[in-house]
Every structure is written in C-alpha cells, then in structure tokens.
Structure 1
Amino acid sequence: MENLQDLKLRLIDEVENNKEELLDLCARLIQIPSVNPPGDTTEITELIENYLSEVNIAYEKYESADKMFNLVAKIGNGDGKELVYCGHTDVVPVGDLSKWDFDPFSGEIKDGWMLGRGASDMKTGLAGIIFAVKMLKKLNIELPGHLTLAIVPDEETGGEYGVPWLLERGLVTGDGCLIAEPSSYLNPTIGQKGSYWFELETRGEPGHGSLSPLAGKNAIVDAIRAIEEIRSLWDVNIQIPEEVQPLIDVSKKYMREVETDRLKYQEVLEKITVNIGTIEGGTKSNVIPDYCKVQVDCRLPFGITQEEVTAILTEKLDALNIDYSMKRFGFKSVANYTSAEDPVCQAIVDNISLVTGQEAYGVMQWASSDARHFRQYNIPVLQYGPAYLPSIHGYNEKVQVDAIIRCAKVYIAAAIDFLYKK
C-alpha cells in the first residue's frame, strides 16, 4: 500500500478533480427548504439517500419525530477506531424575503460565492463530509475501523431529535467526531460556552390604565426591574479554571490577530452573556398588565455551573419582592471542550495545515452546538466547516466556493490520519 502522505495527496487531488460534483451537491441541498421550524427533513434526507446509494453505501434511517429523519452510514472494515463525521440538515427561517438580494433557496454560484440559506450553516459543510465519504468508497480505499456519517435534523432549535436522540440509543458511538459546522479558515472550534435559556414570567393585578401607578400592579414594570437584575449577570466575577486558561488565551489571540473585527468581543469568553430575546405582556394600552413573559439567552463561560446561575438569579429576583416564576427551555449545557492534543483535533488541525500551507490551531466558540452532546458521551469532538461568518443566520447567506473545496480536502485527508494512525 502507498504511504499515508502519498495517499492523502492523491485523495486531495481527487477532491479537486471532482469539485463540480461537490458543488452540485451543495446546490441541491440548499435548494431544498428544510427550514426549522417546522423541521421537515423528508425531501433532503431522500436526496442524501440517493446520493449514498450511487456507490452502495449502506445506511440506517431513523424517524425520531414526525418528518424528522436521522441517517447513519458507515464505511470501512470495522477493525480499528471509529471516526464520526456529523452534520445537520435543518436551517433557520429566511425571514423577510424583501431583504434578500437573491432567492434564499437558489443554490447558485456567483462571483466565486455559493448563495442561499444554509450556505454557511451548514449545508456546504454537510455536503463536504458526505462527498468525502462517497469518494473514499468510490475509490475503494481500504479503511481500518469505521468512518461513520451521522446526518441529523433538529439542530437549529436546540431540539432533542438529532444528535442526542442517536447517542441516547447507542446508534452512534465513536473514538472521535468532526462536526462540519461553520468555522474560521484556519481555526476549528474545540470548545464551546454553555447555554442557559429561560423564560421569566411576572404576574400583576389588572386595573384601569388611567389610575396607574396608584391602582393595580403592573407586571411589565416588574419585568423591567427583573431584567435589570438579570443583565447584571454580566458583572459576576468568574474564576476560569487553570486547565482551560490556555484555550481562552489562544482564543483571545485568534480574536486579536485573525478575526480582528471580533477584538472587542474578547470579554465574552470569560463572562456570562445576557440577551433579552423576547418580551410579551399586557392586553391593551389602557389596561394595567397582569402578566409579562421574557425569554432570555445566557451563555456560560468555564468556571460556573447552571445551578450556580440559578442560585444567583433566584437571590436577585427574590429581593425585588415581585410575583414571578422562571422556567428553563431550549439549549442547556455547561462550557465544554476537547483537548487540542486529542487525536481527532490533531488530525483535523494537521490537515488544515497540509491543505492550506498555513499554521492552524483550535479555538473557543462563544456560542453552543451539538458538540456538547458528544462530549457528554466521552466522544472527543471539534467543529470545522466552510463559512462566511457574518452571513450566518442573516440575510444574503453565502460562502466562498474555495472554502467548500478546501474543507472537503481536509475531511478526506483527516479521515486517513485518524483511522490509520494507532
């Protein structure tokens, strides 16, 4: 057998020579509006099934909820380690169509950019891992162990019917995992902040608006007071654990030297961020509101638990002497990471450098992702995928075609390193 370096270089050339097939797959995925909610992935899953079947890749299909489908496919001889390549098929809603400069489901290429909802998050990354697995199968590369595709729905709402559903049932296991989520060019994300979403409800007493503030009890006013206390979570002093400080430091370096427009955001790595996302309350302007609901998204750094945040919030809100309740929903996790020295991190980082000829290193992500679920099951994981970061979840989402091809080259080469190296 040829040595691993020669094999990797040959496979990288194969990706380059077949890039039109890769880009066509990207376009076809984007053209299917797999928006979540509602999260119907029927059509996009069928497309992927047909694509895998072209080279007889076996797969299992699981309907975890109505019209939400997971696909698990494997190649390799099973004698060795297992590497999981994971991606989600759902995308966020497109919003106001009048604010798009192009059809969000066009999947067209213009001036070197792939256009459409999911171009960055994350249909081109999804296409890359599927394409890499198909190429390995088509070329009859004898892989030791298993390379597994885990293609999931229900990521964009933080739902439970994708990655966690598969892991809970033992339908996906592995010694390492790569999620093809959007990332920086040279910097995969090897750690994520925690998530703490909750809904605050304040309750008041109705009355005629002309008598306020002397009559009734205004639930919206009480919610405003509560919001000020909630926002003060940013000021909580948190001691970052010594073992993760190097990851924080290298991530700050990344924000200073690579994504320089993010320099001003360095503090978020060590702070509880607070976003007051929605407010709903009252019935009419001349009626004293008897209820108000506020939904809040907090992201937690290393060094603080969800229970500690709950205790801090409860103490602050109890002191206001208001009638309130608090309910958790959506994303729930603590900050988590995979060591840069883990074989799956080294395989991806080393092959980013091989493909680009530049230094690569892992960094911290200030948001949350499906990576947390893999780490809960002791599966080392990182994220690397094509992206134009400013367009994610926004209007005019796009990604550079070169980034799509580069990432596919990294995926195919990294699989060789991870599975062949002891």
Structure 2
Amino acid sequence: MSTKNELKDRLIKEVENDKDELIELCSRLIKIPSENPPGDSTEITTFIDQYLKNAGAETTWHESAEKMYNLVSTIGDEGGDGKHLIYCGHSDVVPTGDPAKWDFNPISGEIVDGWLLGRGASDMKAGLGGLIYTFALLKRLNIDLPGKLSLAVVPDEETGGEYGVPWLLENQIIDGNGCLIAEPSSRYNPTIGQKGSYWFKLKVFGEPGHGSLSPLAGNNAITNMIDAINEVRKLWDLNIEVPSEVQPLIDKSKKYMREVEKDRAPFQKVLEHVTVNIGKIQGGTKSNMIPESCEVEVDCRLPFGITQDDVTAFLHEKLDALGIDYEISRFGFRSDANYTSAEDPVCKSIVDNITYATGHEAYGVMQWASSDARHFRNHNIPVLQYGPAYLPSIHGYNEKVKVEDIERCCKVYIAAVIDYLYER
C-alpha cells in the first residue's frame, strides 16, 4: 500500500504528463461564451457535463432561473463516514466590452508565448478547468477516496446573484465539511477572508421648475445629490476598530501587499476602511429644467469591525440631517466581512500543498473584494479561494493567465484532495 505522499506524487506526475489535456480544456471553456448578463449557461454547462460523463462521473442539473444551470457531481465513498470536500467554480464571466479594445479575440482561447488568452482566462475559467480536470482525473484513475469530493459548477457569481452557490446551499443540494473555490489568487497566497459588501442605490427627489429661475425656484435634486454624496463619502473617514482575533490576518495581508503584490502597497488602508465608489449617476431631463430626481449607485466594501446595519444607520443619520427627500435601496453583493481560520483543515490542505508542489512559502491573506465564499461561511462551511490568474487583467481588456500557473494550481488541487480526505 502506497503512502499518502506517494499517492500525491503519483497524481502530481499524472498532471504533468497530461497537462496538454488540462490546457485544452481551459481553452475550450473560454471559447464558449458565457457572459453574465445575460446569464445563459446552457452551452457551457452542456460541454462540462459531457466532459465529466466521458470520465465516468454522474452529474445532476439544477435550473435555478431561466437558462441558469448549476451542475453537481460527486465521487468517492458516498456511503461512508469520511469527510466531504466541495470544489466550486463559476462558469459565468463579465461582458467582454468593446471588441476593438482587445488585442486578440476575447473568446479565442489561444495559447501565445505561454499565456492562455481570452475573457475568463483569469476569472475564472482556468481555475474552473483545473477543478473539472482534477475531478475527472480522480474518477478516471479510480482513486479510492476515504470520503466524498463534490464538484459544483455555478452560473451566477459575476452579478452577485442568488442563482448559484446560495441557491444550492439554501435548497440543500450541496453540503460539506470544507470547500475550495478556484477564484483568482496570487501564486502562493490563497484568500481565506474577505471584506463585506454593501451595494446600494440612493435616489434624491426635488421639485421641477424652469431652469432660468434656479436656484430661487424649484428644488434641484442634482445639487441635493451633491450634498448627499459628500456625506456618503465620509464612510471612508470612520475610525473602525478591527477585532483582535482578525488583526493577525490583516497584518499578514498588509505584508503581502507590500512584499508580494507590490503595486498594491499604496492600498493597504482599504483593509481597515470602508471603501466608497460612486459608480453610476443619472438625473434630470434637460439643461433648462430643474431636475426632480437624481440617482446614484454606490459600491461600499466593509472591513472587519463594521456591519451592514452600522452602515445603514450611518447613512440615514447623515442624510436625514440634510433635510432632503431621499430613499435607499440595496442591490447586488451584500455581506459583512468574513473569514476562515488559517488552522482549519481545508485551509491547511491547500496552503501546505502549495508548498509541497512548489517548495515556496505559502500563507493565506485577506481579499478586498467579495465572492461566493461568503455564502459557504454563512452555512458554516469553511472555505478559501485559490486559482490561477494574472491579477491585473481581471475584468479588463486582454485578460490572460500563464499556462504554468494553471498547471501549478491543478497539482495543488489534486494533492489537497488526498491530504484533506485522508486526514481524519
């Protein structure tokens, strides 16, 4: 009987020997359009379903909304009392935008000079492909797992929607002792925590009138909105006390920003402040009419030490003091800051195997954005994120990822399954 490390070494070697199939799989995923919006995942789910069936895995489809399909498959000892690990990835990508601003076809999936090119290369079709390949390889090799491994492919992450991970969890279609999401990360630093999210629309109302009489007539909603925005932006200035139990994670994340992603060093303060992005504004009818309404959309990210309820109370206090007529409505991402302990077995299995596969020091850090990880934590499932990426290209033009990073992550994925499920 082989030892655990011998099994890991064998599987890592399998990935090395078969890496062309891995990269071809990731390329094929990029070639299948899956922008969200509109969110039609039919074609890409059909392709993944057939790939898994070709490996001998059984799959189930779950339509959570029109043309939004979740795909779930499980292998291993389903009748035993071993642990259950979930590997999760989203099949949707953000829109490609203006094709003329790309240096290559955004759905080409080409390999050029060691880079895989196209929309979703980094976020997160390369990571998703790595999970699918790992899952299928374990099935094809008939590896005797002392627990269960589930693969969940979800269609609705990029809009912060409710039809992917939260829908599966709330309907008790998936459950487990730990989860890895193959969201983009740096090579040696999975994200084990993330800031909260507070997206909202603020609408300010005024009274119309002839523009030639402003400011003596009517009530200008746009100028009132200017005052309101100035108050909203004061969220950044709040002095927030970070709880002592997460301060080590914040400190380590700052070190990461200074020493690893050095271009992020100027942004260390975001880990302890509420960020405020006035992302969209519209109001008024024409220049000679006093506007009767104005609306903005705001994206705030919340550090540890402040909750969504705290932000709501702050906004109402400041806006009520202005004496304006307004309303606030929430949309999109919404969560408090959340994390998984670095000592949790799922975190250790990934971090330890990054070092095992690469020989490089690895540690978990804080994410300043949000993802589906928050939903797993809301259901008491420890989770972290680790995936191949060229971080500057995410959600931008000319998205790409290094082929060597895809292979490295896949080696970590397959070794981590063994460590996690064999460790009682």
TM-score (norm 1): 0.99
What is aligned with 2:63? 63
1:235 offset after TM fit, Å?
A: 0.2
Counterpart pick for 2:322 among 320, 342, 352 = 320
- Residue 303 in structure 1 maps to residue 298 in structure 2: no
Local SS of the residue matching 1:319: helix
What is aligned with 2:53? 53
Q: What is the correspondence of 1:12-411 to structure 2 with a 5 Å cutoff?
A: 12-78=12-78, 79=80, 80-411=82-413
1:120 offset after TM fit, Å?
A: 0.2
1:116 offset after TM fit, Å?
A: 0.2
Deviations 1:55-81 (A, max 9, x none): 210111101100000011001012200
Distance 1:200 1:397 in 2: 33
Deviations 1:374-414 (A, max 9, x none): 00110000000000000000000000000001001100000
1:373 offset after TM fit, Å?
A: 0.3
In the alignment, residue 231 of structure 1 is paired with which amino acid?
R
Distance 2:54 2:127 in 1: 20
In the alignment, residue 328 of structure 2 is paired with which amino acid?
M
In the alignment, residue 210 of structure 1 is paired with which amino acid?
S
Local SS of the residue matching 1:120: helix
Contact 2:279 2:296 in 1 (8 A): yes
In the alignment, residue 74 of structure 2 is paired with which amino acid?
K
Distance 1:58 1:50 in 2: 10
Contact 2:70 2:164 in 1 (8 A): yes
Distance 1:169 1:313 in 2: 34
Distance 1:420 1:60 in 2: 26
Deviations 1:23-45 (A, max 9, x none): 11111100111000010000000
1:10 offset after TM fit, Å?
A: 0.7
Aligned residues: 422
For the aligned residue pairs, the C-alpha RMSD in angstroms reads 0.6
1:418 offset after TM fit, Å?
A: 0.2
Note the residue ranges of structure 1 that are not aligned, 5 or more in a row: none
Distance 2:57 2:296 in 1: 47
Distance 1:24 1:209 in 2: 61
Distance 1:229 1:327 in 2: 17
Local SS of the residue matching 2:26: helix
In the alignment, residue 159 of structure 2 is paired with which amino acid?
T
Local SS of the residue matching 1:122: helix
In the alignment, residue 118 of structure 1 is paired with which amino acid?
G
Distance 1:53 1:312 in 2: 52
Contact 2:201 2:331 in 1 (8 A): yes
Contact 2:182 2:387 in 1 (8 A): yes
1:17 offset after TM fit, Å?
A: 0.6
1:193 offset after TM fit, Å?
A: 0.3
1:272 offset after TM fit, Å?
A: 0.3
1:138 offset after TM fit, Å?
A: 0.8
> 72-81 vs 271-280, which deviates more?
72-81
Distance 1:195 1:203 in 2: 26
Distance 1:202 1:77 in 2: 57
1:314 offset after TM fit, Å?
A: 0.6
In the alignment, residue 18 of structure 1 is paired with which amino acid?
D
Local SS of the residue matching 1:345: helix
Note the residue ranges of structure 2 that are not aligned, 5 or more in a row: none
In the alignment, residue 53 of structure 1 is paired with which amino acid?
K
Contact 2:56 2:140 in 1 (8 A): no
Once superposed, which parts of structure 1, at least 4 consecutive aligned residues long, lie more than 2 Å away?
Answer: none
Q: Percent identity?
A: 70
Distance 2:233 2:100 in 1: 34
Local SS of the residue matching 2:209: coil
1:207 offset after TM fit, Å?
A: 1.0
